[in-house]
Amino acid sequence: MFAEERRKKILKLLENEKRASVNELSKNFDVSRATIRRDLSELEKNGFLRRTHGGAILSGSSKLEPSFKEKTDKLAAEKRKIGKKAAEIIKDGDTVFIDAGTTTRYIIDFLKDKSDLTIVTHALHIINKVNDNNLDCELVVVGGNFKWSTEAMIGPMAEDYLKKLRVDKSFIGSNGFNLDSGATTPDLREAKIKEIALEIAGENFLLFDQSKWEEIYFYRFAELNQIDFIVTDKIEASNKKSLNEDKIEVILAWINNGGEQMILTVTLNPALDKIIILDNLKLGRLNRVQDTTVLAGGKGINVSEVLTKLKIENKALGIVGGNNGRNITSMLENKGVRADFIWSDFETRQNLKIKEKNTNRETEINEGGKVSKENINDFKTAYEKAVKKNKTLVLSGSLPAGVEKNIYAELIQKAKAEDAKVILDSSGEEFKLALKKAPYLVKPNLEEIENLLGRKINSSDDLKKGAKYLLDQGVSIVMISLGENGAFIASETEGYRIYTPKVKVSQTTVGAGDTMVAGLAAEIDKDESLKDTGVFAAALATAFVECGSISKIDDQLIERISSIIRVEKIY
């Protein structure tokens, strides 16, 4: 048995028994009393226990360090989100120190799109992560004495080497954090590494999950004035205020507590979308497919994917089931989309979309979908809980069999009772019933507004009249999407015709409307002006059509398209 492992077992024994003698420990671990005395001296030096005559007692101020496995399993989803958020901070060309830890290690999973990185680390699990992700980076490994329980190099050799380096950013894990005690850890040797990593960095980022708040360990490695940023998943409003006063910026990995909010999307009828591409669809004959793509589908899910790409905190709510449901959940997780689904015994539907390259014609064949009354009741319970904390919601898409047509109306009513703004993107009877509850924004397309009014829309004046009809129902904002011809956005006091540039359809226009809704939700959540909201949403939808994929949208593309959008004020 290694000394590190034996000493940890001694501490566990003391935690249970409160005290132990040298003789007892010698017999228990089958080692000499001299060995036990050395163990106790080392543990006392590190603050874990207090020596007594012939034995030891556990120090009242010490905490045991959980094993690497125990820490890995605890709050794994939260730690992954923290790692992802930290990775977003790293820029091309950065030199960064990444500390050992079960939170910091997740940073590596989200660095694949970065270039010219230099990563400095003393942790074996970080090195393995770099290798597993096949990162194209310069890797600087700090050598020293290996600590098995945390898989990290420590000791004088590691300290001396690290002191010679300089990095742009240090990402440091912490076992505990308290406003008075600062950042703490149970091991002096690891504390020294953290201290040096903070000293050699231009900016310091402290990473820890919600369970570390108010935890205090024996060794403080950082006071508040040594920390520039804290990346965490949850914080009390009072703590955030205190940290801001100390000029520490708090970066939340996902925003859902402590008074902070996220955008919620609702997809009651999700689908596994299979897109096939061929030259021409020949009815009644053999067709050979050129390319196939399978995606997680459903209008609300699409909105969540876009918001996630835009780095806007959101959560997808809905109902899924069967293998298709599991595939959807896995796809979203891989894209970093946070979801909270109710599981159904019914298989989630699958849709087929056929794209013809020669004509740009698109054919959709959609299944209906089905859920149970119990699924809906469970969903309503989850929805009511979520809407109490989050004030911008997107209700969109068709309804599966088993759901009453007034479901959107009911959800809008519950949201408005919590002062939440609801964006509605639906059609048919469920849209008409929901309209009676006056959602904050509706986004019909040209065909839907014409069907609603029972007449054709041929001019900006017709668009104004169509918007007025909806505004008269109590809606605050109307956004009418006009396909390649742009959009019209209006409120009671102002209205704008938005002319988007003509772009070549890269792959499909299916999903452009959902991308537009994501843009609307993002701007409304930030209380942007009506004009800016319309322009951003229209630019985002156009960018999707041009590049053919949510994953290819970036700030430069959105800015380029926004700069050539023409806006006409109608009233």
Residue 217: alpha-carbon gap to chain centroid: 30
Strand order in the sheet with 271-278: 291-297, 271-278, 349-356, 362-365
Residue with tokens 């543990």: 43
Cα-Cα-Cα-Cα dihedral sign, residues 226, 230, 231, 234:
positive
The whole-angstrom separation of Cα 173 and Cα 74 is 15
Contact yes or no for 264/291 (Cβ under 8 A): no
- Separation CA 29–CA 234 (nearest Å): 42
267 strand-pairing partners: 318
| CB-based contacts of 75, cutoff 8 Å, min separation 6 | 209, 210, 211, 233
Alpha carbon distance 285, 139 (integer Å): 56
Closest CA to 23 of 33, 31, 35: 33
d(C-alpha 463, C-alpha 486), whole Å: 12
How many residues does the structure list for the chain? Answer: 571
- How far apart, in whole angstroms, are the C-alpha atoms of residue 449 and residue 337? 31
Please state the separation of Cα 270 from the chain's center in Å.
Answer: 20
Active-site pick, 425, 514, 525, 527 = 514
The pair of structure tokens assigned to 492 is 């009671």
514 is catalytic: yes
Write out the two tokens for 117.
């990185």
Cα 492 to Cα 94, 424, 439, 484, distances in angstroms: 49, 18, 14, 26
Report whether 282 contacts 289 (CB < 8 A). Answer: no
Plot region of 298 (φ>0 → left; ψ -120 to 50 → alpha; else → beta): left
Mapping DSSP to helix (H, G, I), strand (E, B) and coil, where does residue 348 land?
coil
Which alpha helices (H) appear in 93-210, and where do they start and end? 124-132, 156-163, 188-199
Cα–Cα distance, 3 to 32 (Å, whole number): 13
Residues 498, 565 contacting (CB under 8 angstroms): yes
Tell me how far CA of residue 13 lies from CA of 9, 173, 250, in angstroms.
6, 27, 38
Tell me the β-bridge partners of 424. 395, 442
Instruction: Return d(Cα 26, Cα 310) in angstroms, integer.
Output: 60
CA distance 167 to 181: 26
Catalytic site positions = 514
